[in-house]
């Protein structure tokens, strides 16, 4: 049995629902999973084939159940490349979600604002991304049962789901900015010169996640919608150093509107 099959069979033995929407919850945004009803919670370290999360502030469990009447599977905490996991490991949960029946994925993250019209606390709909790392989770032999060798990325973020997200924000009277997310590996934050470069090449926000998961999701034919919480202005924009504490503080401040928004989004998608 392949690892993917083993993991899927293990999880199927624990759940009674068939999740439709996958949720990946970024730094400081994991509390959404606490609102899932009739939850089955399974710690990553108990799941065969799952890597183990290492960073503080990232709880590591899958939460499977119902949110807004929709069957969901949430990653409360994700795996990051900078933790030392290979991209296979980082994206393995997305493959598992696909096997469990997920066809839509909501990805969230905390990101630094590159575009000067963004402000800490903003929610930004990801309209597209730039992989600035030279890494790709699909490097290596292609497994044709999973997807094609050269997947299309022209609609990495599904247009219809973007519309649904914008309407969800309108319903809640919430300002939803839009922009292009840049993936850097981290874990060091960027230099001011790097941020000037990212601005020039078309980036609006920068972070250390999301792109690997979305790349694999698209390979697997899963439709994606992405939301960044702008937790800080990127390096050099303000005259102050960046800290992880600031990232967490800001995500805590927007917790309530973020929760409301993603719940509305799930209801409207489901």
Task: Write the CB contacts of 193 (distance below 8 Å, at least 6 apart in sequence).
Answer: 236
Least distance (Å) from ligand HPA to the CB of residue 188?
9
Nearer Cβ to ligand HPA, position 16 or 191?
Answer: 191
Nearer to ligand HPA, 11 or 123 (CB): 123
Applying CB under 6 A, which of residues 102, 118, 224, 242 lies at the interface with ligand HPA?
242
Q: Would you give the DSSP letter of residue 201? A: T
- Name every residue whose Cβ is closer than 8 Å to that of residue 254 and which is 6 or more positions away in sequence: 121, 123, 229
Q: Which residues are catalytic?
A: 27, 58, 80, 82-83, 110, 208-209, 232, 244
Closest chain position to ligand HPA (CB)? 112
Give CA–CA dist 49/8, Å, rounded.
10
DSSP state, residue 115: S
List 241's β-bridge partners, or say none: none
Q: Kindly tell me which of 24 and 208 has the beta carbon lying closer to ligand HPA.
A: 208
Minimum gap (Å) between residue 72 Cβ and ligand HPA: 24
**Window of 28-36, 63-71, 137-145, 202-210 that interacts with ligand HPA by CB under 6 A:** 202-210
Where does this chain touch ligand HPA (CB under 6 A) — which range of 29-37, 117-125, 166-174, 181-189?
181-189
- Examine residue 33 and tell whether it contacts ligand HPA (CB under 6 A): no
Does the N-terminal peptide bond of residue 130 adopt cis geometry, omega within 30 degrees of 0?
no
C-alpha span between 219 and 226 (Å, rounded): 16
Is 266:72 a contact under the CB 8 Å cutoff?
Answer: yes
Residues binding ligand HPA (CB under 6 A): 110-112, 184, 186, 189-190, 206-208, 231-232, 234, 242, 247
């Amino acid at each position: 049995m392949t690892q993917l099959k083993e993991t899927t069979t293990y999880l199927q033995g624990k759940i009674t629902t068939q999740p439709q929407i996958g949720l990946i919850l970024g730094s400081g945004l994991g509390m959404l999973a606490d609102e899932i009803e009739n939850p089955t919670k399974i710690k990553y370290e108990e799941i065969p084939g799952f890597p183990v999360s290492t960073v503080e502030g990232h709880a590591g469990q899958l939460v499977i159940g119902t949110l807004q009447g929709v069957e969901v599977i949430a990653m409360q905490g994700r795996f990051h490349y900078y933790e030392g996991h290979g991209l296979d490991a980082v994206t393995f949960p997305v493959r598992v979600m696909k096997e469990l029946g997920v066809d839509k994925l909501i990805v969230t993250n905390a990101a630094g604002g590159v575009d000067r019209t963004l402000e800490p606390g903003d929610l930004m709909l990801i309209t597209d991304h730039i992989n600035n790392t030279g890494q790709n989770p699909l490097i290596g032999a292609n497994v044709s049962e999973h997807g094609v060798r050269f997947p299309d990325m022209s609609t990495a973020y599904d247009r219809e789901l973007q519309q649904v997200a914008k309407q969800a924000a309108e319903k809640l009277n919430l300002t939803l900015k839009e922009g292009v997310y840049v993936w850097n590996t981290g874990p060091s934050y960027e230099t001011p010169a790097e941020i000037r470069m990212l601005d020039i090449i078309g980036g609006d926000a920068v972070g250390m996640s999301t792109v690997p998961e979305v790349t694999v999701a698209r390979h697997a034919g899963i439709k994606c919608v992405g939301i960044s919480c702008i937790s800080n202005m990127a390096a050099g924009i303000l005259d102050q150093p960046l800290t992880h504490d600031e990232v967490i503080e800001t995500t805590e401040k927007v917790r309530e509107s973020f929760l409301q928004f993603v719940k509305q989004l799930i209801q409207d998608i489901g």
